[in-house]
Structure 1
């Protein structure tokens, strides 16, 4: 089941509670409802984590943890999925979000100079921020919805597949036992 696969890679709540740097989050970590691995909690954790990953804001992990708490989904998954936008992927993802925002708003695309500086970014931020936010929100909502539906469908398919496999194995055992008695 997907549950076994996920449990193999998830951190244990007790291990996290013992870490000195996470003691301030002990009440959040201690809630057993935030560590469940059900179809609903995993699908919602993917939605929360991917939604927060697409937002161009600082402290995405904190926002994902609060979102996991509010939606009662798996805390570890929602916080870890935020790392899809890491320092290597963030420029590409946010540039794509910016381009989507300019397309949706009908705004002109600001071309980058040959040398990008923090001064140029600060000067252009007024014009670039609205399309970036619009594109990021649209991407975040669409990705969260698609991920939620996909996880639920994959989970359902996996459970159905296991049921069929077990049923087939029972029939084979039964046929083997009956053939032994017939001999």
Structure 2
């Protein structure tokens, strides 16, 4: 993960802290590690963001930001990683999580006929919440750990490639 690329595309930390919605976190954002770009903070942000993306709750970005503060990961990366779930990707992701949850809990899969209404959502949620939540936590943990490891590995490979190039040019 090239640090220069991330610095170019992420907002300036000082300007980020001055945003109206961000000021809600107040002094919690004073930890410089939350906006610092290094292998540990970026990998932590990726892992946390991917984990939270699979949790079937509203306000995932807020949850990812809170998790990043708690675990001292890069808050911008964590919030950005949540965006893999969007209106197009949520149905297949949650269907996968539901199926995994059904298998883990040993339940029978229920046929669900979708209706875009709150009444339908409330009725179906009482039947599917346990397998969906179980599968979401399991799949989110696996994807989050994989994302954490991949970010660590990619960052390390990038640094090793830069060192190799520097040595070939005759530098230190």
TM-score normalised by structure 1 residue count: 0.84
User: Which residue does 2:18 correspond to in 1?
Assistant: 18
Alignment size in residue pairs? 171
Structure 2: how far apart are the matches of 1:106 and 1:19?
Answer: 47
1:117 deviates by 4.6
User: Which residue does 1:49 correspond to in 2?
Assistant: 49
**Unpaired segments of 5 or more residues in structure 2?**
none
1:124 deviates by 2.5
Provide, for residues 129-182 of structure 1, a one-character-per-residue CA deviation record: whole Å limited to 9, x for no partner.
1100110000111011111111111111111111111111228xxxxxxxxxxx
Is the Cα–Cα contact under 8 Å of residues 40 and 73 in structure 1 kept in the other structure? yes
1:115 deviates by 5.1
Poorly superposed stretches of 4+, deviation over 6 Å:
none
Provide, for residues 70-126 of structure 1, a one-character-per-residue CA deviation record: whole Å limited to 9, x for no partner.
111111111111111122211221111111111222212121237565433322222
User: Which residue does 1:6 correspond to in 2?
Assistant: 6
Distance 1:21 1:2, change over 3 A: same
User: Which residue does 1:96 correspond to in 2?
Assistant: 96
User: Which residue does 1:122 correspond to in 2?
Assistant: 122
The Cα RMSD (Å) is 1.9
Structure 2: how far apart are the matches of 1:19 and 1:116?
Answer: 35
- Larger gyration radius, structure 1 or structure 2: 1
1:152 paired with 2:152, answer: yes
1:3 deviates by 0.9
